[in-house]
Amino acid sequence: MTLSEQLFERAQHTIPGGVNSPVRAFKSVGGTPVFIDRADGAYLYDVDGKRYIDYVGSWGPMLLGHNHPAIREAVIKAAEKGLSFGAPCPAEIDMAELVSKLVPSMEMLRMVSSGTEATMSAIRLARGYTGRNTIVKFEGCYHGHADSLLVKAGSGALTLGVPNSPGVPADFAKYTLTSEFNNLAQLQALFAEHGNDIACIIVEPVAGNMNCIPPQPGFLQGLRELCDQYGSVLIFDEVMTGFRVALGGAQAVYGVQPDLTTLGKIIGGGMPVGAFGGKKAIMQHIAPLGPVYQAGTLSGNPIAMAAGLAALTAISQPGVYDALTAKTTTLLQGLQQAADAAGVPFCTNQVGGMFGMFFTDQAEVSSYQQATKCNIDAFKRFFHLMLQQGIYLAPSAYEAGFLSLAHSDSDLAATIDAAKRSFAAL
Ligand code: PMP
């Protein structure tokens, strides 16, 4: 028995499924999850001493690579002054100012401790601001695990086949309308019927929780127009895409300004952090300025702010996104050539430093329906063949992959070589 197997056995006695977040359990791909001892740069090291080239990056935050010295040092320095104050500290203002500068649509913002909190709070704010109850989300998009958002949800909910979770009262779920991602006509019809009751649309501007699906030309613009026409709030959930697809997020890439934006992952540099923000006129409805209540014991935590500020400062340097995008393109071109050479039907999607891999003979994948039609069995076998060779991919066919600046040319070449062997073995 490996040490990971022993730990997984032990964990299952006191932790449901042995994990603190479902997809980590390898339930959909089978086998035993790898327990991690430490991480550095592009690599994870498991408790049995095996090294992996990591394409999960803690599910997105590790854009600079693991254990980045500037972030580590900022955290140590901040920790020397105390771990939490429960009172304002200067780093919170630095963070708000920096985020607002990098993502100008976020005129005001509030820090929270997870992506789930950010989206849940943004939705409450949109409801409080508009005085309407109904929200619209897209099938296969995941926005964290708040009640209203676990309707046709992606990520682990989709991976494990529970997109509509038990425990969400039907009386709540009825206020969540769903529509198909990249299907503007369907959304227009929905608005024609319910538009005057719709508080907000929440969307992942690049869907990253049903694999990776970019918006088709005009889709995000169409959402903007519908929200303007019906007085609904447009929320871009950039928990994944923020600082991942470009320094200014997906809103900078596609040139569409949301009313509210949610952030997480990279903004915390690896610490538990989220944020929501947007137009001043809307944000002023949040307590204590306004009546919409939202709070957090650890919100704006000084250690988390130090980590996030160090991360954002490092990724604001010129050339970061060109390098990240080029690395990702190199990887995907190599994977595609390897699949083609082995005769395995395969295609990929990419936006900046995030990507999707699809085992399919469809020429491209641009919808939830197409993503869920892919060959999941082929993915599972590929996943394990890669894992054996020290390549750590997300243990689900419905997650995006992430690169970091720490992935070297030789890491990418080693990954492509492993993929050649894996595709051939399929
Ligand atoms: N929104 C999106 C787009 C996400 O990808 C995630 C998590 N993967 C969340 C929200 C929830 O964030 P958290 O897991 O930090 O609660």
Average pLDDT over residues 319-330: 98
3-67+319-425 CATH fold: Aspartate Aminotransferase, domain 1 (3.90.1150)
Q: Please indicate, yes or no, whether the overall pTM of this predicted structure exceeds 0.90.
A: yes
Residue of the nearest CA to atom 13 in ligand 1? 115
Per-residue pLDDT at 99: 98
What single letter denotes the amino acid at residue 406? A
From the candidate CATH numbers 3.60.110.10, 3.20.20.70, 3.40.640.10, 3.90.550.10, the one assigned to the domain spanning 69-315: 3.40.640.10
What would the pLDDT profile of 116-141 be if each residue is shown by its tens digit? 999 999 999 999 999 999 999 999 99
CA end-to-end span of the chain, whole Å? 27
Residue of the nearest CA to atom 2 in ligand 1? 143
- The strand pairing partners of 292, in sequence order, are 286
DSSP state of 346: -
What would the pLDDT profile of 66-90 be if each residue is shown by its tens digit? 999 999 999 999 999 999 999 999 9
The residues assigned a catalytic role are: 142, 237, 265
Alpha carbon of 262 to ligand 1 centroid (Å): 9
pLDDT band at 209 (very low <50, low <70, confident <90, very high): very high
Residues with a CB atom less than 6 Å from ligand 1: 59, 114-116, 119, 142-144, 155, 204, 208-209, 237, 239-240, 264, 274
Alpha carbon of 410 to ligand 1 centroid (Å): 31
Instruction: Decide if 3-67+319-425 and 69-315 have a common fold.
Output: no
Q: Which residues contact 338 (CB under 8 A, 6 or more apart)?
A: 416, 419, 420, 423
> Which residue in this structure is represented by tokens 């894992």?
387
Rounded CA separation 199/227 (Å): 9
Pocket test of ligand 1: the residue of 145, 148, 204, 240 to mutate, having most ligand atoms within 8 Å of its CB, is 240
Give the domain ranges of the chain: 3-67+319-425, 69-315
Share of residues in the chain with pLDDT > 90 (%): 97
pLDDT band at 304 (very low <50, low <70, confident <90, very high): very high
